[in-house]
Structure 1
Amino acid sequence: MHPKRISKWVLKPFVYFMGSNNIQRAWLFEPNSITERIKRNHSFELELVSEQIEELDHLDKRIVGIAKNESMVRRVKLFGDKKELVFGESIIPQETKEHGFAGLKNLGSKPLGDLIFTSKKFKRMRVLFAKFEFNNKKYWGRITVFRVNSYPMSIKEIFIID
């Protein structure tokens, strides 16, 4: 089961008014790699949950800025000291894999953040925030839209932080 979004996507200023705390905001507003943030303080592990072509819903297509109905969707769990800290979901259209950056073709269990923050080909376009529910608990998450040599992709991160 994956976390379910329970609020609208909002811009950064609204996060302060929607019941977030300082710890949650530190993760939500992290400007650098979440993978590196975890590695600084914990033993890091990535579990590849799935990586497959899926039909996208209208909102995902609109946020990422693509017209095609199907795209590669990659889901991962990031652990720190064996505790799940982040559920990640990336939308990587085929044209982005082919023309944006070749390293996106065979990620396997490599963290996507390792590519994004070491290559100048990735440009962060916008970040939106929302609340999610997972295992009867509420969490915050964000979706970041990137351009990779002008081709779109997104990374959604739900922070499983108490």
Structure 2
Amino acid sequence: MNVTSVSFPYGESIQWYSPENRHDLPENALKDWLLATGSLTEKLKRECDEFTVTVLGEHVHTPLAGECPHAQQPMWIREVLLSLDGTPWVFARTLIPQQLLDNPIHAFTKLGNRPLGELLFTSESITPGNIEVAQFETCGSLARLATSLDQPVNDTLWGRRRYFNLGAEQLIVSEIFLPAAVKQIMAKSTPS
């Protein structure tokens, strides 16, 4: 794996859409993964023996153009790979407003290699919002990341974004399915 913190951040500016407004969503098992309303972390864990989180980088940065519609002030940005049995399946990018960083209950900046999803779906004070979807081109920074993971990108990548409400603030979590995930998801859905 050739990823380094020198390359952080990997995220790219993209237009996100409500699934109801995308008529080109994949009509296969990947669509179910994109629109799943529960914890993606838990869903991934059910698919493997060993689930790991690799932090690519986390730091205060200004969000990309259009990434955070409510503000352009610096936010805590965390990028990770979610791997199943040693194979990266998902690139995840989280934006956390500065006002939430001092919250001792959630300690967002001290997650380390623990999955954020466990916190988001077990805290009574955090409410999941709507899911949005997007396609990522084969020539973008996420495609280059996938290629550095020995996962050539032969088709557009699909991802989802979700807002999580905590008081008056919102966290934004984007999750992009890497080629290895798509291959496995499709293989498991195809009858033998």
TM-score w.r.t. length of structure 1 = 0.86
**What is the TM-score with the length of structure 2 in the denominator?**
0.73
What are the Cα deviations for residues 83-124 of structure 1, in whole angstroms up to 9, with x where unaligned? Answer: 111000000111022249533231111100000111111112
What stretches of structure 2 of length at least 5 have no aligned partner?
A: 1-6, 138-142, 148-152, 184-192
Give the corresponding residue for 1:29. 35
- Relative to total residues, which structure has the larger strand share, 1 or 2? 1
Change (3 A) 1:14 1:149: same
2:133 aligned partner: 129
Cα separation, 2, equivalents of 1:29 and 1:147: 18
> Which residue of the partner structure matches residue 140 of structure 1?
158
Equivalence for 1:153 = 171
- The C-alpha deviation readout for 1:26-85, integer Å capped at 9, x for no partner, is 1101111111111112021110100011122331221xx2352x1110000001121111
- Equivalences for residues 95-114 of structure 1 within 5 A: 95-99=99-103, 101-114=105-118
Q: Which of these two proteins has the greater Rg computed from alpha carbons?
A: 2
Alignment RMSD (CA, Å): 2.1
Query: Any conservation in 2 of the 1:99–1:151 contact (CA below 8 Å)?
Result: no
Structure 1's unaligned 5+ residue stretches are: none
- Are residues 1:72 and 2:76 paired? yes
How many pairs are equivalent?
157
Q: Secondary structure at the match of 1:153?
A: strand
Residue 55 of structure 2: aligned partner: 48
Identity of paired residues, percent? 25
Greater RCO (Cα-Cα under 8 Å, separation 6 or more): 1
